[in-house]
Each structure stands twice: as C-alpha cells, then as structure tokens.
C-alpha cells in the first residue's frame, strides 16, 4: 500500500478516521476496521469451515476494503459494508476449494479391528476454531436465531458446509448475524424474493442435520460443576489408559472421528475397542491440557514415549457431552500444527505437565 502515514489516529472519532482513510491514511484505516476484524474472521470460518481458509478470506477482504474505502458512501453502516466484502471473499474461495466435511459425512463407520488407512492430506476436513477468538456469547443482534458459540459448534459448521454457497451465506447473514432481508439481498446482489427462498430452503436443510440439543444447551444443563466433573473423569481415565473407565462414560451411540483420517467409529463397543487397540494400548503415555474449541470443551493431547522426557503435541480432542455428563462424541483433530492457533506449545518438558 503506497500511502501516507498519520501517527496520531488513536483518539480520532470513527467519522474522522473514515475521512482520513479515504484520503489515503493507512493507519486510520487499520484503526477504523480493527474492531470488526475478529468477527469477520469468525464469519468467514462459518462460511468455509477452515481456520486457515478463514484467515485467508479475511485478509483478502481487508485488502479489498482498503482498496475500496474511497468509494464507501455511507449508505449502509461500515459493518454491513465490511460483511458484504468478507462474504464475497469467502464465496470466491469456496469456488476454488473442496467442500470441508467431518469423517461422518465422508463415508460409513469403520470396524475398529481393521487396519487404519492413510490420512487424507488434501484440504478435506473441517478444522477446529479457538474459543478465544470468538465474540462474546449471545446472539449477534436481537434478530439472530443462534448464539455466537452455538453457531460455531462442530455440528452447526458441518451442517453449513452441506448447503449451497448462496444458502449458506443467506442463513449466516440472516439467522446468525441478524441482518435485515434488504441488507442480505444487497450484500449478495440478489433479489429479496430469491433471498427469502434461499433462507427457507437453508433452514429446512440445516434442521435435518442439526442435533435436537445444541452443545450450549447441554453445557447449561450440566452447569460448571457437572462439566468439570465429566472432564476430570475423562482426563484421569485417558492419562491412565483406563479404557473401561472411558467406556463407562460413553453413550450407547457415541462417535469417534479422527481427521485427517477418514475412518470413524460409532457405538460404545466400537469406540472402546478402537481406543484399546490403538491410542490407549499402553504403548504411549498421555498428558492432556484444557482448552476450548467451537464452543465445546476441548483438550490438547500430548504423548511421551519413554525414556524421553519431552511430551509432543498429538491431537486436539473436542468433546461433545450428553446432558447426563456422558460422552456422545469425540473428535480428535490429529494435526499438531493446529496447536499454535490455540496458544498451545508443540512440545513440553515432562515435568511441565506434572499438574495434569
């Protein structure tokens, strides 16, 4: 960006910042759009199902906004204008990238006694999103149908990825962000009638794929003490490789998935048999550290292979709980590169994990 700089933009009002940005002040532009950058990234994540793709789309949107700020006339709010740019950046990226899914949507459940194949390394899988990057809980506006954390739960993100791009954008803009129909139509350069039709179809299709109870509802039913008790039981059982203890925590139809591996397992017996044969087979020792992803309770898993004194990142475990504290789903994102996005180290001395 070939612009002049203004070093005294900190105390400016938005109107003054806008005028300065339209005059070529890059720093004024950065201060003008910074309050929206985080929520725009989450918006792109909902559209794309990928943390990395969301970062790319947000960066492209910011660049396009900078190039177009001189043409912004204020007929809509700055926020609406930025969302329009970000939505279209995400739509362009959807055209160039394969659809993101979870293993449950990729094929049938596997047999835990079969050999595990090779991971699919292409950009196929939904990626987890750090809770610390999410806006405050609650709806984005009084007209929104979903809470902010509810709208990034894994089941919700997976359901969105099955919608055609236009329906996906309309549902997010309308029901997650609460934009008025006219704003949505303008953002997508569509007619109000086509937006209404797309919204009705999107709501119907999403409802078929979403669970009856959201993870946020379940966490509220359990309360802080109930969640803490369930997590403490799971951590103790996993670190002790106590498969029977974990089995007792699973619901009858519990699901285990492990992207980027396409194999997944359904049912208490299948999940516990796989855990006993693979990750909890006593050939590795584990340490777990708490984190949060997609509005779910999550744990960072580290492994240590004696006689080493270093634990290394293995997977992010995203838990889906039942209202009675049992475990109905476990998605293990087996990509150590994700740890940095959650502020987690890729390796630690074994002594540093002694409190876990």
Cis bond upstream, residue 345 (ω within 30): no
Domain 215-353 maps to which CATH number in 3.10.129.10, 3.40.50.300, 3.10.450.50, 1.20.1510.10? 3.10.450.50
pLDDT at 309: 78
Q: Where in the chain is the domain with CATH 3.10.450.50?
A: 215-353
Domain 12-97 maps to which CATH number in 1.10.1740.10, 1.10.3720.10, 1.20.120.1200, 3.30.360.10? 1.10.1740.10
Q: Which residues contact 23 (CB under 8 A, 6 or more apart)?
A: none
Strand partners, 302: 287, 313
How far is the first Cα of the chain from the last one, in angstroms, to the nearest whole number?
A: 48
Q: Which regions in the chain score pLDDT beneath 50? A: 1-11, 356
Q: Where are the beta strands (DSSP E) in 267-346?
A: 285-293, 296-304, 310-321, 327-333
pLDDT at 32: 97
Instruction: Note the helical H segments in the chain.
Output: 14-22, 26-48, 51-68, 78-96, 154-161, 165-171, 181-187, 192-209, 215-239, 243-249, 268-277
Strand partners, 313: 302
Cα angle 47, 53, 58; round to 5: 80
pLDDT at 304: 86
Span 63-74, pLDDT tens digits: 999 999 999 999
The residue whose two tokens read 């940095």 is 340
Strand partners, 285: 304
CA nearest neighbour of 148 among 160, 138, 161: 138
Strand partners, 178: none
Q: Are the CB atoms for 175 and 145 separated by under 8 Å? A: yes
- What whole-number distance in Å separates Cα of residue 342 and Cα of residue 300? 9
Q: Where in the chain is the domain with CATH 1.10.1740.10?
A: 12-97
Using alpha carbons only, how large is the chain's radius of gyration in Å? Answer: 22
Measured CA distances, 286 to 112, 233, 298, 314, 338 (Å): 21, 15, 15, 9, 18
pLDDT at 9: 41
Would you put residue 241 in left (φ > 0), alpha (ψ -120 to 50) or beta?
Answer: left
Pairing assessment for the beta strands 347-349 and 285-293 based on DSSP bridges: unpaired
Tokens, residue 287 = 């340490």
Q: Are the CB atoms for 215 and 295 separated by under 8 Å? A: yes
- What whole-number distance in Å separates Cα of residue 101 and Cα of residue 24? 42
pLDDT at 352: 64
pLDDT at 140: 81
Measured CA distances, 29 to 82, 179, 337 (Å): 12, 24, 32
Specify the long-range contacts of residues 240-245, CB closer than 8 Å, at least 24 apart.
241/280, 241/281, 241/282, 241/285, 241/286, 242/280, 243/272, 243/275, 243/276, 243/280, 244/272
- What whole-number distance in Å separates Cα of residue 174 and Cα of residue 141? 10
């Amino acid at each position: 960006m070939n612009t002049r700089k203004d070093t005294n933009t900190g105390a400016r009002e938005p109107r003054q910042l806008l005028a300065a940005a339209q005059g070529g002040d890059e720093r004024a532009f950065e201060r003008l759009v910074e309050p929206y950058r985080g929520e725009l990234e989450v918006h792109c994540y909902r559209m794309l199902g990928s943390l990395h793709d969301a970062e790319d789309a947000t960066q492209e949107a910011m660049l396009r906004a900078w190039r177009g700020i001189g043409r912004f006339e204020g007929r809509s709010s700055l926020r609406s204008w930025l969302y329009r740019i970000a939505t279209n950046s995400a739509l362009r990226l959807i055209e160039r990238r394969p659809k993101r899914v979870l293993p449950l949507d990729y094929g049938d459940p596997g047999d835990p006694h079969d050999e595990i194949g090779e991971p699919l390394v292409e950009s196929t899988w939904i990626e987890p999103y750090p809770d610390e990057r999410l806006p405050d809980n609650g709806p984005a506006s009084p007209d929104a149908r979903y809470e902010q954390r509810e709208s990034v739960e894994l089941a919700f993100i997976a359901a969105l990825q099955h919608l055609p791009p236009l329906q996906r954008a309309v549902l997010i803009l309308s029901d997650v962000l609460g934009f008025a129909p006219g704003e949505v139509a303008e953002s997508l350069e569509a007619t109000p009638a086509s937006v209404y039709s797309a919204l009705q179809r999107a709501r119907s299709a999403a409802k078929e794929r979403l669970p009856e109870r959201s993870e946020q509802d379940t966490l509220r039913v359990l309360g802080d003490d109930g969640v803490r008790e369930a997590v403490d039981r799971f951590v103790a059982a996993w670190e002790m490789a106590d498969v029977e203890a974990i089995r007792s925590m699973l619901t009858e139809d519990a699901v285990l998935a492990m992207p980027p591996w396409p194999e997944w397992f359904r049912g208490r017996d299948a999940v516990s048999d796989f855990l006993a044969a693979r990750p909890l087979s006593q050939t590795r020792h584990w340490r777990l550290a708490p984190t949060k992803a997609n509005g779910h309770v999550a744990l960072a898993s580290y492994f240590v292979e004696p006689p080493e004194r270093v634990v290394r990142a293995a997977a992010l475990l995203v838990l889906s709980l039942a209202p009675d504290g049992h475990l109905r789903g476990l998605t293990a994102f087996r990509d150590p590169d994700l740890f940095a996005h959650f502020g987690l180290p890729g390796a630690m001395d074994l002594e540093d994990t002694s409190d876990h």
